[in-house]
Amino acid sequence: MELFLFICFSIICIISALFVVLLKNPVKSALSLIITFFSMGGLYLLLEAEFVALMQILVYAGAVMVLFLFVIMLLDVKGPLKEEVYYRNRKIFTIPLVILFFVLLLVGFFSPLATLGKKGKFSSEWILSQGGNVKVLAEVLFQKYLLPFEITSVLLLVAAVGIMVLGKKRVK
């Protein structure tokens, strides 16, 4: 059952990711990217990462993609760009990309990466006994990763100020 769900989600994920690249209309690309994000949320659920799955759907499929669609609507781009008809330097791109793809595939499939490193104590039974994924994550986040968490808030503040500066009209 788990394998079946995994195959379903990953096939949806890969096909809609292909559509992101292949479709000419940016609105359609954005919509298929939303499908990709939703099915990745399903994959996260299969990995018992409930918090990450919810964040994926709320932040990515919700906020980020709304932002993308808003900008597409705002800029009023009609159809494909003219320059999109031909891709220059196609050969230069293809060879390293094919190599990259196969290296990633080989590393992913054949290397015994899971046996590297010690196994931690956070097995799924232990997480269940401690009250669930979100609770365990929060305990680690606010103890071990407290400083990075605070720095993240500064980063978001900087981003907000930067958007204000970029977005305002120049007043002479």
Partner 1 sequence: MVPLNFYLVVSAILFSIGAVGVLVKRNTIVIFMCIELMLNAANLSFVSFSKALNKVDGQLFVFFVMVVAAAEVAVGLAIIVNLFRKFGSISVDRANLLKW
Does position 30 bind partner 1 by CB under 8 A? yes
**For partner 1, what does the binding mask look like between residues 39 and 58, x meaning CB under 8 A?**
-x--xx-xxxx-xx--xx--
Residue in 104, 129, 146, 150 binding partner 1, rule: CB under 8 A:
104
Residue in 93, 128, 129, 132 binding partner 1, rule: CB under 8 A:
93
Does position 101 bind partner 1 by CB under 8 A? yes
Cβ distance 31 to 73 under 8 Å?
A: no
Does position 155 bind partner 1 by CB under 8 A? yes
Does position 137 bind partner 1 by CB under 8 A? yes
Does position 67 bind partner 1 by CB under 8 A? yes
Does position 143 bind partner 1 by CB under 8 A? no
Amino acid at 90: R
Does position 95 bind partner 1 by CB under 8 A? no
Amino acid at 105: L
Does position 8 bind partner 1 by CB under 8 A? no
Residue with tokens 């096939």: 11
Gap between the Cα atoms of 130 and 140, Å rounded? 12
Residues whose CB falls within 8 Å of the CB of residue 42, separated by 6 or more in sequence, listed in order: 5, 9, 53
User: Count of residues binding partner 1 (CB under 8 A)?
Assistant: 82
Q: Give the pair of three-digit tokens for residue 82.
A: 């003219």
Q: What angle do CA 145, 59, 160 make, to 5 degrees?
A: 75
Residue in 78, 83, 147, 171 binding partner 1, rule: CB under 8 A:
83
Gap between the Cα atoms of 41 and 39, Å rounded? 5
Does position 17 bind partner 1 by CB under 8 A? yes
Query: Minimal distance in Å, beta carbon 48 to partner 1?
Result: 6
Query: Minimal distance in Å, beta carbon 72 to partner 1?
Result: 6
Does position 74 bind partner 1 by CB under 8 A? yes
Instruction: Kindly state the DSSP code that residue 56 receives in the 8-state scheme.
Output: I
15-19: long-range contacts, CB 8 A cutoff, minimum separation 24: none
